[in-house]
Structure 1
Amino acid sequence: MQDGQLAPGAKLPSARDVQAQYGIANSTAQNALRVLKEEGPIYFVQDRGVFVRQLSPRAQFLKRYHEGLEEATAQYRADEDAHRQVKHFVWDGLTEAWRQQGPDTPLITQW
């Protein structure tokens, strides 16, 4: 539901169907549906089934915000990796140049 695979209004399997599909106790399946109903992402319609609820504007905002944070975090990590690779490339090049010039050449000891 949260990742958008189940659209608002989509019908969910019954507790009995979940029980059969996953080989769990019917009470476990019913409890799972009850918890989801209490948390808000689903609702029950008597004699019709269980359905996915439309996200509130606040929940939609929080979902987009969370997705944005995940994207920014991934980009930060990629940038950090690139920076680390450049740093090692430069440092390795300086170290090799120093080795070729001999031990009397001053070596940069801090980056």
Structure 2
Amino acid sequence: MIVKLSKEDYYKVNKLLVTPQEKNENVLNAVISGMNQGVVYVDQIEEPHTAIVYAVGLGYYLLGDPENGLFNSYLGNLISTQLKQESLDSCGGVWFIGNIFNESWKKTLQKVVWA
């Protein structure tokens, strides 16, 4: 399952920022802190293990466990329907630009998006 976090809960994904690149990525952290416009989706509200953070007009950041089967079973549909439409509505974007910090996300995206 993938759920949208309310803005007051964005801080919950901070524990998913483990690499120096994730911890220092300004756009990503600006969304999480509420300084930039964006949306955060997670596998579960209370204790997220996997997340996708949308920085409006700039791209998506995939965080946490790239092998989260339940999250990944919904990810392809989320990208191809909801996220695509949100990007189109908010900034006219028609492409999904995903930023990854863990190379395992490449395999996951290939499985769920291009399968």
- TM-score tier, shorter chain, comes to under 0.3
Judging by fraction of residues, say which structure has more strand: 2
**Which is greater in Rg?**
1
**Which TM-score applies when normalising by structure 2?**
0.24
Instruction: Give TM-score scaled by structure 1 length.
Output: 0.25
Give the structure with the higher percent helix.
1
